[in-house]
């Protein structure tokens, strides 16, 4: 069973032992918004031209989350910039996160464990039931970044999210590997062999994610 781009992003973000994300809330939620938009582009449902999102077709994808996002884009009175959609989806990121996690639990990718904090607040942790899949995914990413091997469009988009979200700091604990990975991902995402359309959607989405994260951090009390 091959997972979607957004589901693979979840596998990388969630700690297998703690059952929680390894990157901060805003970084995760805005990056997740970007992941959904990149997946729509990968499935050729949308395209990005001069930073504006255009719908290629309105046929349902079979993915409830993607179809709901497509419906939002369809109902928009005019074409909006990718920055608008990253911000809009990111601000409602917790709803998006819960919907994706619910499906992953239903598909036996995650095991959900509920608990209470201080005996009052309901919380949940999500434990990976597909450790082999995650291990193979991490190997593929390693080969792509360090050996230029096994590059494909979906993996390329996922690697771009790793760089933008700051996840690279968690995946590579060795300082030398981390510095190399950050530099290599940055170089790779500037230009790829997948054509100008894919390059533009990745560049525009990642720029929008960075702007959204920076802006949200600036307005957060105590930041």
Which region among 87-101, 113-127, 181-195 has the lowest average model confidence (pLDDT)? 181-195
Q: Which helix (H) or strand (E) holds 125?
A: strand 121-128
Residue spans of the domains in the chain: they are 5-129+194-217
pTM: 0.90
CA distance 160 to 153: 11
Element (H, E) at 106: helix 93-106
**3-37 tens-digit pLDDT:** 999 999 999 999 999 999 999 888 999 999 999 99
CATH class (in words) of the domain with range 5-129+194-217: mainly alpha
Per-residue pLDDT tens for 199-221? 788 888 888 888 888 887 766 55
Average pLDDT over the chain, rounded to whole?
90
Q: What share of the chain is helix, strand, coil (3-state, %, to 5)?
A: 60, 10, 25
Residue among 31, 23, 8 at smallest CA distance from 164: 31
**Contact (Cβ atoms closer than 8 angstroms) between residue 143 and residue 135:** no
Model confidence pLDDT, tens digit, residues 65-85: 999 999 999 899 899 999 999
């Amino acid at each position: 069973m091959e997972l979607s781009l957004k589901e693979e992003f979840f596998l990388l973000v969630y700690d297998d032992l703690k059952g929680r994300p390894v990157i901060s809330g805003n970084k995760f939620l805005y990056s997740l918004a970007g992941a959904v938009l990149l997946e729509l582009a990968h499935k050729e449902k949308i395209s990005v031209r001069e930073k504006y999102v255009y719908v290629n077709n309105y046929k349902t994808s079979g993915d409830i989350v993607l179809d709901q996002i497509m419906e939002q884009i369809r109902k928009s009175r005019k074409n909006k910039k990718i920055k608008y959609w990253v911000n809009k989806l990111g601000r409602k990121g917790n709803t998006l996160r819960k919907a994706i996690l619910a499906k992953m639990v239903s598909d036996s990718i995650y095991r959900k464990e509920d608990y209470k904090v201080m005996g009052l607040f309901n919380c949940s942790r999500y434990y990976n039931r597909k450790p082999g899949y995650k291990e193979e995914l991490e190997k593929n990413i390693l080969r792509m970044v360090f050996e230029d091997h096994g590059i494909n469009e979906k993996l390329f988009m996922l690697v771009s999210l790793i760089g933008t979200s700051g996840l690279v700091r968690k995946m590579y604990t060795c300082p030398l590997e981390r510095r190399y990975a950050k530099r290599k991902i940055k170089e790779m995402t500037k230009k790829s062999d997948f054509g100008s359309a894919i390059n533009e959607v990745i560049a525009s989405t990642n720029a929008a994610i960075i702007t959204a994260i920076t802006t949200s951090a600036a307005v957060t009390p105590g930041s």
